[in-house]
């Protein structure tokens, strides 16, 4: 009977790989349920609650009777506030009519890819990169094209490789800057060059900007600075520390907005209403958010200093986001097995690079540093002891 039922699963769904970091989190939670203290360096979930003003706004919304359906594009005050954000941060005049509120960035990817591409079309992705990109493409019967963006390429896709893929009928490119898992960031000139290259070849450029405002040197540039025809995706999950609220946004070209609206009306109705009202307050919590970001910066500096002493020495740039992507081939050629060892033996949860790179990811681990400083210090103490035991 099971085999008969398996034959009923859509082929495109069967092509979707597990999101390994969520499997690691599940195993870590099982250890914690058994009474084991786990040091979490696997998920990109900001440590601590959302800003106080966000919680206060949610409480105020609960006392109203205005928590029913919203229009599919989201409440107008939130769309207007996001438009103001682009004026304040980037000096851009973005119409609120181009802004679409989504169920996190994940809902945005599904809507954007559904609206832009037909089954079988090819979409370029940086490799290594966020695994949900290629898995959502597979679920939609689209073909991911992996563009090399490892150490040899300076951790970002190179124009020649992008141009070659576009000439082979690639319909668009989806890139993040800063990047998960490497933290690498495109310079403004690199981003502009790629936007113009993709559009000149008739493709669509989708810019994942979820880690904007989480940089530790130069500020990240938005693709909207270079074109009105790009699709920009962002979220309140990372900088604004609202992961479980499932609230994000897109900035769409005018010609795409109605198509996305119709899809959302049928597929999603609207993003969570209470989360929309709460997100409106996130823009007024900058002091608290910047203080939290300073903790990420301190964690980053601590790891860059301590991990080489432990035995993890070769990292990606870590210009932004809150990840270090470490070469571990001196320890193992199987980062999945290594991550399992670290979890079961050292009680430190990390993410195998295979999640982000199906080609060379078995030689890498991702360390997330958005937990509390105490957790990061505990993780390093445990990693050091594990390494000592291994060497002895």
Same fold, 2-49+287-391 and 52-285: yes
In this model, does residue 166 exceed pLDDT 80? Answer: yes
Q: Where are the chain's structural domains?
A: 2-49+287-391, 52-285
Note the pLDDT of residue 12.
Answer: 85
CA distance 183 to 201: 28
CB 166 within 8 A of CB 196: no
Instruction: Provide the terminal-to-terminal Cα distance of the chain, rounded to the nearest Å.
Output: 51
Q: Is 385 helix (H, G, I), strand (E, B) or coil?
A: helix
Contact 376, 303 (CB under 8 A): yes
pLDDT higher than threshold 90 for residue 245:
yes
Classified as helix, coil or strand, 138 is helix
Residue 275 has pLDDT above 90, yes or no: yes
- pLDDT tens, 317-330? 899 999 999 999 99
Give pLDDT, residue 136.
Answer: 96
Please report which confidence band the pLDDT of residue 7 belongs to, taking 50, 70 and 90 as the band edges.
Answer: low
Residue 256 near residue 100, CB atoms below 8 Å: no
Q: Which long-range contacts (CB under 8 A, 24 or more apart) does 58-67 make?
A: 58/274, 58/275, 58/277, 58/278, 60/277, 61/273, 61/274, 61/277, 61/278, 62/274, 66/273, 67/273, 67/274
Residue 138 has pLDDT above 80, yes or no: yes
- CATH fold for the domain made of 52-285: 3.40.640
Q: How confident is the model at residue 294 (pLDDT cuts 50, 70, 90)?
A: very high
Average pLDDT, the chain: 94
Report pLDDT for 274.
97
For residue 213, give Cα distances in angstroms to 53, 208, 275, 281. 19, 13, 21, 17
Mean pLDDT calculated for residue range 12-36: 86
In the chain, the largest separation of any two C-alpha atoms, in whole Å, equals 65
The pLDDT of residue 4 is 59
pLDDT tens digits along 120-131: 999 999 999 999
* CATH numeric code, 2-49+287-391: 3.40.640.10
| pLDDT above 70 for 221 | yes
What is the length of the chain? 392
Q: What is the pTM of this model?
A: 0.94
Residue 81 confidence (pLDDT): 98
Dump pLDDT digits (tens) for 96-119. 999 999 999 999 999 999 999 999
Mean pLDDT, to the nearest integer, of 192-197?
A: 98
Is pLDDT above 80 for 309?
Answer: yes
CA dist., res. 72 & res. 263, Å (int)? 9
| pLDDT confidence of residue 16 | 72
Q: Nearest 5°: phi and psi at 12?
A: -65, -35
Helix (H, G, I), strand (E, B) or coil at 387: helix
Helices and strands in the chain: count of H runs, count of E runs: 14, 12
Mean pLDDT in residue range 238-242: 97
β-bridge partners, 251: 99, 232
pLDDT value of position 6: 62
Name the pLDDT band for 5 (thresholds 50, 70, 90): low
- At 65, is the pLDDT very low, low, confident or very high (cuts 50, 70, 90)? confident
Contacts 24+ apart (CB under 8 A), 24-27: 24/339, 24/343, 24/349, 24/350, 24/351, 24/352, 25/349, 27/340, 27/343, 27/349
Q: Which residues pair with 147 in a beta bridge?
A: 126
- Give tens-digit pLDDT for 329-350: 999 999 999 999 999 999 999 9
Would you state the pLDDT for residue 285? 97
| Structure tokens belonging to residue 193 | 């060059």
- Rounded to 5°, the CA angle 241-17-159 comes to 75
What's the token pair of residue 305? 């200093």
Closest residue by Cα to residue 130 from 289, 22, 240, 12: 22
CA dihedral 292, 293, 295, 301 (to 10 degrees): 170
> How many other CB atoms are found less than 10 A from the CB of residue 65?
5
Res 300 pLDDT > 90: yes
Report the pLDDT averaged over residues 166-194: 96
- String of DSSP letters for 115-137: HH--TT-EEEEEES--HHHHHHH
Q: Is the pLDDT of residue 3 over 60?
A: no
Please indicate whether residue 7 or residue 364 has the higher confidence score (pLDDT). Answer: 364
């Amino acid at each position: 009977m099971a085999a008969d039922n398996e034959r009923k699963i859509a082929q495109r769904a069967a092509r979707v790989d597990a999101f390994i970091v969520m499997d690691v989190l599940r195993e870590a939670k099982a250890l914690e349920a058994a009474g084991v203290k786990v040091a979490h360096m696997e998920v990109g979930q900001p440590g601590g609650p959302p800003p106080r003003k966000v919680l206060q706004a949610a409480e105020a919304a609960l006392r109203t009777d205005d928590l029913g359906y919203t229009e599919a594009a989201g409440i107008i005050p939130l769309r207007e506030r996001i438009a103001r954000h682009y004026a304040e941060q980037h000096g851009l005049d973005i119409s609120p009519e181009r802004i679409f509120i989504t169920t996190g960035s994940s809902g945005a990817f599904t809507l954007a890819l559904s609206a832009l591409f037909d089954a079988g079309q090819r979409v370029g992705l940086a490799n290594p990169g966020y695994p949900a990109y290629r898995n959502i493409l597979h679920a939609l019967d689209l073909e991911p094209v992996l563009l090399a963006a490892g150490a040899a390429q300076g951790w970002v896709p190179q124009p020649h490789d992008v141009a070659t893929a576009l000439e082979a009928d690639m319909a668009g490119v989806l890139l993040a800057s800063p990047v998960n898992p490497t933290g690498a960031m495109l310079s403004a000139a690199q981003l502009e060059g790629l936007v113009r290259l993709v559009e000149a070849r008739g493709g669509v450029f989708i810019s994942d900007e979820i880690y904007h405002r989480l940089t530790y040197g130069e500020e990240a540039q938005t693709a909207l600075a270079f074109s009105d025809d790009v699709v920009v995706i962002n979220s309140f999950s990372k900088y604004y520390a609202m992961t479980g609220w499932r609230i994000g946004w897109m900035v769409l070209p005018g010609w795409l907005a109605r198509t996305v609206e119709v899809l959302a009306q049928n597929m999603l109705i609207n993003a969570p209403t209470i989360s929309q009202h709460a997100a409106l307050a996130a823009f007024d919590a900058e002091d608290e958010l910047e203080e939290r970001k300073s903790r990420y910066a301190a964690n980053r500096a601590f790891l860059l200093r301590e991990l080489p002493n432990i035995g993890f020495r070769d990292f990606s740039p870590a210009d932004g986001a809150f990840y270090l992507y470490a070469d571990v081939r001196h320890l193992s050629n199987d980062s999945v097995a290594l991550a399992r060892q670290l979890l079961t033996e050292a009680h430190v949860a990390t993410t195998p690079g295979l999640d982000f790179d199906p080609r060379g990811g078995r030689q890498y681990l991702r360390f997330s540093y958005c937990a509390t400083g105490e957790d990061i210090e505990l993780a390093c103490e445990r990693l050091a002891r594990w390494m000592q035991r291994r060497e002895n």
